[in-house]
Amino acid sequence: MDLAAISGDIERVIVTEEALQARIKELAAQVDKDYEGKDLLLVGVLKGAVMAVADLSRALQRHVEMDWMAVSSYGSGTKSSGVVRILKDLDRDITGRNVLIVEDIVDSGLTLSWLKSNLESRGVGSVEILSILRKPEAAKVHVDVKYVGFEIPPDFVIGYGLDFDEKYRNLPFIAVLAKHMYS
């Protein structure tokens, strides 16, 4: 979906499609280098990371496997609490694997911090995190994110996998949702 179709719903575009795609190519080159000679399993966190996994994996110049997890963090409304429930677990055993968790955004960091320890407890070779976006001002817990696409201000954003009420995931860019859409 293009900007013209939803321009009244957003305040501004913060990451254009071109900037996103260019940054993903850079991240992919870094991942190619860091995992040279090693196996690599991308674990996408549903549903937000679907676009990121699709674009990152196609930019990698190597074989890669993909698996998916769906988690829900309990909390009041839009705030995550750190109490996480697995809605869909990995299809395959990850013992000894080099796992790269792919996420859309690190906000409080609570979800990813839980997910990383959960995967680490399964006897993996390594677990690292790649997130397209990070809101540094919103961090409640320290979580080591090895690959970050863009640092953004603590506004509510949509697009490129990120939703508001399950909509806007199919925008090829990232934008700040207009206040009138949710207040």
| Contacting positions for Mg ion (CB under 5 A) | 48, 104
Interhelix angle 17-34/50-59, nearest 10 degrees: 60
* Residue 111 touching ligand IMP (CB under 6 A): yes
Tokens 């949509």 correspond to 158
> Whose Cβ is closer to Mg ion: residue 48's or residue 149's?
48
Catalytic status, residue 107: yes
User: Which residue from 10, 105, 132, 175 is in contact with ligand IMP, where contact means CB under 6 A?
Assistant: 105
* Residue 110 touching ligand IMP (CB under 6 A): yes
> Whose Cβ is closer to ligand IMP: residue 16's or residue 35's?
16
User: Which residue from 97, 108, 116, 175 is in contact with ligand IMP, where contact means CB under 6 A?
Assistant: 108
Written as six digits, the tokens of 60 are 């990698």
* Residue 104 touching ligand IMP (CB under 6 A): yes
Using CB under 6 A, which residues numbered 18 to 37 contact ligand IMP?
Answer: none
d(CA 157, CA 150): 13
Q: Strands across the sheet with 65-74, in order? A: 83-88, 65-74, 41-46, 98-106, 126-134, 147-151
d(CA 150, CA 31): 16
Is residue 127 a contact partner of residue 141, using CB atoms and an 8 Å limit?
A: no
**Least distance (Å) from Mg ion to the CB of residue 48?**
3
Site mask, ligand IMP, residues 148-167, x = CB under 6 A?
--------xx----x-----
* Residue 55 touching ligand IMP (CB under 6 A): no
> Whose Cβ is closer to Mg ion: residue 27's or residue 69's?
69
d(CA 128, CA 100): 5
Question: For the residues of 45-67, what is the DSSP string, one character each?
Answer: EETTTHHHHHHHHHH-SS--EEE
Catalytic one of 107, 144, 155, 165: 107
Catalytic residues: 107
Can you give the binding site for ligand IMP, defined by CB under 6 A? 48, 73, 80, 103-112, 156-157, 162
